[in-house]
Structure 1
Amino acid sequence: MSDSSGLYILLVSVHGLIRRDNMELGRDADTGGQTKYVVELACALAKNPQVQRVDLFTRLINDPKVSPDYAQPVEILSEKAQIIRIPCGPRRYLRKEVLWQHLDTFADELLRHIRKVGRIPDVIHTHYADAGYVGCLVASWLGIPLVHTGHSLGRVKQQKLLEQGTKQEVIEDNFHISTRIEAEETTLGSAALVIASTHQEVEEQYSIYDRYQPERMVVIPPGVRLENFYPATDDWQNPPIQKELNRFLKEPQKPMIMAISRPAIRKNVSTLIKAYAQDPELRQLANLVIVLGKRDDIAMMESGPRQVFMEILQLIDRYDLYGHIAYPKHHNADDVPDLYRLTAKTRGVFVNPALTEPFGLTLIEAAASGTPIIATADGGPQDIIAACENGLLIDPLNIKDIQNALRTVLTDTEKWQHWSSNGLLNVCKHFSWDSHVETYLEQVRKFPQRRVRSLLSPLRESPGKANPDWHIPDKNRLPTADRFLVCEIDNTLLGDQEALYKLIQRINQEGHTTGVGIATGRSLESTLSMLEEWRFPMPDLLIAAAGSEIYYGPQIATDTTWQKHIGSNWQAKAIRAAMQEIPGVELQPADAQGKFKISYFVDASKAPSFRDIIRHLRQQQLYVRGIYSHDMYLDLLPIRASKGDAIRYVALKWGLPVKRFLVAGASGNDESMLAGNTLAAVVGNYSKEIEKLRGYPQIYFAQGEYAWGILEALEYYDFFGELPQK
């Protein structure tokens, strides 16, 4: 990869079969225009001198039913661009509708890779709702802008299917549509920029979402690599795909009505077949050619594509279209330009009858090959035909409208030539990757630059001394920090202003590669209030509620994977009921409670011992982790949750050895993070229940209180010097 300076752009497209060469477009409902779009976008961005590196992330698939290409972790696209495939769920190829439960894993694996790169991306650009879900997590964890391209939208799909008479429960079962729509809503609320292909997409499709923000949306038509799409020359020889078509056709020399798409219901191919079949003049004028990806055995296809093909075969038989329609089983990527050229050579027409069409790359390709087009009056085709002036728009559900448009193109020689010439001229003028990338980067440069904050603003004013000017970047430093300082708030980090001032000054001078974290028993709201009171900036890591919650700054993004990890078998209601049987304990106020934390005051003169309380819960099959501190506070957490477990989880997730974490605490609430392989420090004002840790080899008991003790620990461990790498 190039080492030149410039933007690092990270693209995410989770589903489908993505590779550089011979893309299997139309193989199934998931391997369509989006897969081609993201590969070409990656290559086009990498060509621009403003861009240093482009990584396109997709799912690694190790399945004997598909090419071994998709099991390669890295595939080079160009000097500055590559496809990176990462694990996500089972190794086998899965349709996108069943990937939702595995997307948190994809997000975690994406973080691991960013850690290996050692540089935080400037932009993360996601494609489709599943990648949007991943991007919202990762962008919020890292504090970087999110760009999103929807490609197609769940609410629109749901509306169209309902209009066709499909029942809501069927839509939900087949498409997990509510999950998809929720992911789209979240993405729209989080994205700094949403790229749409058409104005109709913005005004009529995105506008039906609750989090519609048109000021964050821009229309940038997709580019097309036009070098492969051009009209047939006078000496052009018939291509191999024609032999395949001739097997079906009685009069192959006739003009072709050509449709190329995935075998998806929304592509509405059956309506095109009906329009053709029910018009004797059209059957006399032209052949119908339907290219719907590749297939071997229809019975082995997924339900959606199988349903499409079964309907097509029934229509062919019902209208006796044998000899008039071609529907080849196989074609490769090189055949597609030839199909367009064949259509133009026979003075035919390319048709896109889809119910919805976010853009329609095939229309651009057909235009560049000299073929007039007929397309649905929805989304992209409206803008394309307006720009290229090379065909007609149709109502995709109106058979008469389709028939009239086809008859016009096939019988009016003057219009056919006019539309063919217009398409050739205007497609190069309006649709190219170079112009797409220029507009794209203009929009990226408009992202508001967050104001850099000083760490001390000010904590105290000392005569003759300025406060340290420690500038905090607006991105999270977890992927780039090579060590981490994590402190409890109460009685440790906070408590002595002068000591805190000195600590900040020291980190400012020597801790340029140091991340800063908080680990506390307080709730998130209470933690943020304390940080604001002491004018301490947003840390990179917040472990709150005694280790049951993890957040990442600067956007206070929740680690949802941690919640799922600790939440298994957590029975809060049953725990509260069991604790009512114990004397001397009282629930703390509501603001001290958490989703995975139940906190009590303990009257030691009336309550049983801590061990007896935990035993009582265990005897009722309620397995909890109990934390007892200051002889009066009891926190009950899921068995997997603690400050120590949270720190080890973060270390593993972000690829930073736990021996490079210096943790500081003062009470029994901190025991789990102090014991183990971390570098640990107990400040001088510690509570007595932590005395039992004295003598542990990696726990330093400082003399200084509050942040003075943390400063001692920095010296004791030479924390800003050479630390163990593993």
Structure 2
Amino acid sequence: MKKTQSKSRDGEGLYLVLISVHGLVRGRELELGRDADTGGQTLYVVELARALARHPQVGRVDLLTRRVVDSKVSADYAEPEEDLGDGAHIVRLDCGPRRYLRKEKLWPYLDCFADNALGHIRRVGLRPDVIHGHYADAGHVAVQLSNLLGAPMLQTGHSLGRVKRERLRENGMSDADIEARYNISTRIHAEEEALAHAHRVIASTRQEIGEQYATYDNYQPERMEVIPPGTDLTRFHPPKRGQRKPPIWAAVRRFLETPDRPLIMALSRADERKNIRGLLEAYAGNDWLRENANLLIVAGNRDDIADLDKGARDVMTDLLLRIDRHDLHGLVAYPKHHDSDDVPDLYRLVASSKGVFVNPALTEPFGLTLIEAAASGAPIVATNDGGPEEIISRCHNGQLIDPLDPEGIADAIQGILADRPRWQRYSRAGLKGVRQHYSWDGHAEKYVKLVKSLTREVRQERHHERRVSGHLAQMDRAVITDIDNTLLGDDKATRAFVAWLKRNRKRVAFGVATGRRIDSAAAILEEHGVPTPDVWITSVGSEIHYGTKQTEDRGWARHISHRWEPDRLRECLQQEKNLVLQPDVDQRAFKVSFFVEPPGSLDAKTVETRLYREDLHARVIYSHDRFLDLLPVRASKGLAVRYLSDKWGIPLEHVLVAGDSGNDEDMLRGRLLGTVVGNHQPELESLRGFQRIFFAGATHARGLLEGIEHFDLLNRCESPGDAEAEE
């Protein structure tokens, strides 16, 4: 494969893949605060990519995000690639509908994004030294890529679903509403999955590890590292003596009767959790502040409050009502627009006015705005929840407050503004502390050391080299089907498929993907007159063999051996009273199998939770209310199909897969041509609405033939649409 040209300093350098799926990501004029999905994380990942690319031991950094083609947003987000300099790139990949979607709507499309990400990495031609997921959705993608490529995985949560759910409950939202609005159970499951697979979790603070991650079943603090994010000290710096007012001052000045007073500024999204209301009430209730300082609230961009999404609309409407109720006109500025280039100037306005920057959020995992303010010379007042505690403990540049105590917030702000020597002390300490603890170059140095240690820790074998000879190497399309109740179950339909296969065997590779052992699969296919497959995926994806000789794919066996501890798994689960080990003949090198007695008495989630807590790694498959199979985390039907596609050079979009039940689901999703036969189990109904998944009207093998015709496998190998349709 031809390699893409990349920066090289000491040899080829590290290849780092960062993933941040949601929001709007670009390298310039970031639209921070535009909505709940385009906030601090967006800035974090772009700055991280740039900082890592500057490191002399890094050759290439790819930041993978979602491509958006939507007239409501800038055309920048439709560009497939953006060069950030020094070997860093933003790479935008298709993921579901082209238009902009909030992150809660993206879950059904992430498998397709993962397949597209794999395709991009293969086109680059370099093996990733690390794959780093940012937030739960990217963690889901990173798990798949790490499992397929055998590369170490890092995960950064940015914010966590369990913490968010508790905060929302405290604010009175019902569990049903939380689930409907935020898909919170899906998010938490993805976070648990990412924690289980990640070789290291990068956190911003010790509090994040000790309190927030500790609420998760798969809490392994020894695999967690604190590497605080940095700030760009070339952008964020104190005002120069005699510096003229910046352009954004005009948008602020017009609100204020006495504009030369110190500014109390908050800068955040218009989000309930940012607690702008608490700051406004603190200011309104303190006579000294009203007489001696102005309040500046920068809460995203808007043309018309009525056009904002509901959450932001409610926050801004409440803000205006409270300003009117407390008669704060002339004292509070709330500009409608600002650019990313205005943000450093806003901090400098606070510093030059001898004001204070305030972050009153209900919860704050880190607090990037706090170190930006500190780097600009402004003292800070911040919530006592999360990252601000560590920032102030390192920088000694401000006060912590209870975000639910307006009087305490006001007293903290007044205490700084009314004491000039104290203000000066905090300002100088913040500048020194940021340089010492929060530079991006320092972050990158720690990051690179971590990645290099992981490459020694994780065995990386090249299992994915493409073969250059043999029957499969000549094929450019394939049919891979489940056996029971898909290929078999209707003898006439099976014979019809066999006739089609014999006519097209020279053009199409044929494979089966089954839960059966290979000897059982071979016997049942011979009994029904089905020709020997080119590929056998057996034991629920834990084994791959080839052709009539059933030659084992030893590369697959080595690949899936990662973190596989069958003896510990058996010992752990034999203590469960309703689990009985199946006979030895049904146990495989990469499959531990139990009967559930009595049938239906098991909750698979409790098994996953127990394994997480014991730091055991396995894929849990519960089927027919009676069978429990444990596989390596890198083994499944879907992962096996993708491994074969990569190894033999058959494009995913040229591989038709067919199945009827839940253990076929990960094989059906993504870029593959999925066919669900008419006699499918109810659990596959959730896949309806994806244009790359076809629900056949016919049952068994006739449904398989219907899928072949639908996708025109022998000719165009195309689905009717480029992307999945909405549900």
2:667 corresponds to which of 557, 562, 577? 562
In structure 1, C-alpha distance between the alignment counterparts of 2:50 and 2:537, rounded to whole Å = 48
Show the 5 A alignment for 1:596-635: 623-625=699-701
Shift of 1:595: 10
| Partner deviation per Cα, 1:291-344 (whole Å, 9 max, x = no partner) | 011101111111111111111111111111111100000011121111111111
> Is contact 1:567-1:638 (8 Å) kept?
yes
Aligned CA distance change for structure 1 residues 392 and 252 (closer, same or farther; 3 Å)? same
Q: Counterpart of 1:549 in structure 2: which amino acid?
A: K
Does 1:254 find its partner at 2:261?
A: yes
Shift of 1:67: 1.1
Does 1:29 find its partner at 2:2?
A: no
1:520 corresponds to which of 536, 539, 545? 536
1:300 corresponds to which of 295, 299, 307? 307
| Partner deviation per Cα, 1:440-462 (whole Å, 9 max, x = no partner) | 1111122264787xxxxxxxxxx
2:350 corresponds to which of 336, 339, 343? 343
1:474 corresponds to which of 440, 456, 461? 461
Match of 1:200 in 2: 207
Shift of 1:639: 5.9
| Partner deviation per Cα, 1:14-57 (whole Å, 9 max, x = no partner) | 11111111111111111111111111111111111211111111
> Is contact 1:476-1:554 (8 Å) kept?
no
> Is contact 2:464-2:643 (8 Å) kept?
no
Aligned CA distance change for structure 1 residues 94 and 522 (closer, same or farther; 3 Å)? closer
Shift of 1:530: 12
In structure 2, C-alpha distance between the alignment counterparts of 1:321 and 1:334, rounded to whole Å = 28
In structure 2, C-alpha distance between the alignment counterparts of 1:95 and 1:621, rounded to whole Å = 33
Aligned CA distance change for structure 1 residues 321 and 526 (closer, same or farther; 3 Å)? closer
Show the 5 A alignment for 1:95-244: 95-244=102-251
Does 1:264 find its partner at 2:271?
A: yes
Match of 1:571 in 2: 679
Aligned CA distance change for structure 1 residues 560 and 109 (closer, same or farther; 3 Å)? farther
Match of 1:582 in 2: none
Shift of 1:640: 7.3
Shift of 1:621: 6.7
In structure 1, C-alpha distance between the alignment counterparts of 2:44 and 2:365, rounded to whole Å = 13
In structure 2, C-alpha distance between the alignment counterparts of 1:162 and 1:380, rounded to whole Å = 22
Show the 5 A alignment for 1:632-711: none
| Partner deviation per Cα, 1:530-579 (whole Å, 9 max, x = no partner) | 99x9986242899x9xxx934339999998542346463553579xxxxx
In structure 2, C-alpha distance between the alignment counterparts of 1:173 and 1:18, rounded to whole Å = 26
Show the 5 A alignment for 1:387-536: 387-447=394-454, 449=456, 474-477=461-464, 519-520=535-536, 522-524=538-540, 527=543
| Partner deviation per Cα, 1:655-695 (whole Å, 9 max, x = no partner) | xxxxxxxxxxxxxxxxxxxxxxxxxxxxxxxxxxxxxxxxx
Shift of 1:518: 7.6
- Please, what is the CA RMSD of the aligned residues? 3.7
Percent sequence identity is 48
In structure 1, C-alpha distance between the alignment counterparts of 2:331 and 2:718, rounded to whole Å = 62
In structure 2, C-alpha distance between the alignment counterparts of 1:15 and 1:257, rounded to whole Å = 31
Show the 5 A alignment for 1:314-353: 314-353=321-360
In structure 2, C-alpha distance between the alignment counterparts of 1:481 and 1:289, rounded to whole Å = 63
In structure 2, C-alpha distance between the alignment counterparts of 1:343 and 1:363, rounded to whole Å = 13
Shift of 1:184: 0.7
> Is contact 2:668-2:675 (8 Å) kept?
yes
In structure 2, C-alpha distance between the alignment counterparts of 1:341 and 1:208, rounded to whole Å = 39
In structure 2, C-alpha distance between the alignment counterparts of 1:23 and 1:428, rounded to whole Å = 24
In structure 1, C-alpha distance between the alignment counterparts of 2:467 and 2:48, rounded to whole Å = 31
Secondary structure, counterpart of 2:234 in structure 1: helix
Does 1:539 find its partner at 2:561?
A: no
> Is contact 1:350-1:373 (8 Å) kept?
yes
Match of 1:552 in 2: 640
2:316 corresponds to which of 309, 313, 318? 309
List alignment gaps of at least 5 residues for structure 1: 453-472, 496-516, 575-593, 597-619, 627-636, 654-726
Question: How many residue pairs align between the two structures?
Answer: 551
In structure 2, C-alpha distance between the alignment counterparts of 1:379 and 1:176, rounded to whole Å = 24
Secondary structure, counterpart of 1:625 in structure 2: helix
In structure 1, C-alpha distance between the alignment counterparts of 2:17 and 2:399, rounded to whole Å = 38
Match of 1:2 in 2: 6
Shift of 1:262: 1.0
> Is contact 2:285-2:407 (8 Å) kept?
no
Does 1:82 find its partner at 2:89?
A: yes
Q: Counterpart of 2:128 in structure 1: which amino acid?
A: P
In structure 2, C-alpha distance between the alignment counterparts of 1:142 and 1:394, rounded to whole Å = 46
In structure 1, C-alpha distance between the alignment counterparts of 2:18 and 2:195, rounded to whole Å = 17
2:383 corresponds to which of 340, 352, 376? 376
In structure 2, C-alpha distance between the alignment counterparts of 1:274 and 1:324, rounded to whole Å = 13
Match of 2:290 in 1: 283
In structure 1, C-alpha distance between the alignment counterparts of 2:328 and 2:388, rounded to whole Å = 29
> Is contact 1:62-1:68 (8 Å) kept?
yes
Aligned CA distance change for structure 1 residues 22 and 527 (closer, same or farther; 3 Å)? closer
Shift of 1:119: 2.5
> Is contact 1:123-1:145 (8 Å) kept?
yes
In structure 1, C-alpha distance between the alignment counterparts of 2:644 and 2:189, rounded to whole Å = 20
Shift of 1:176: 1.1
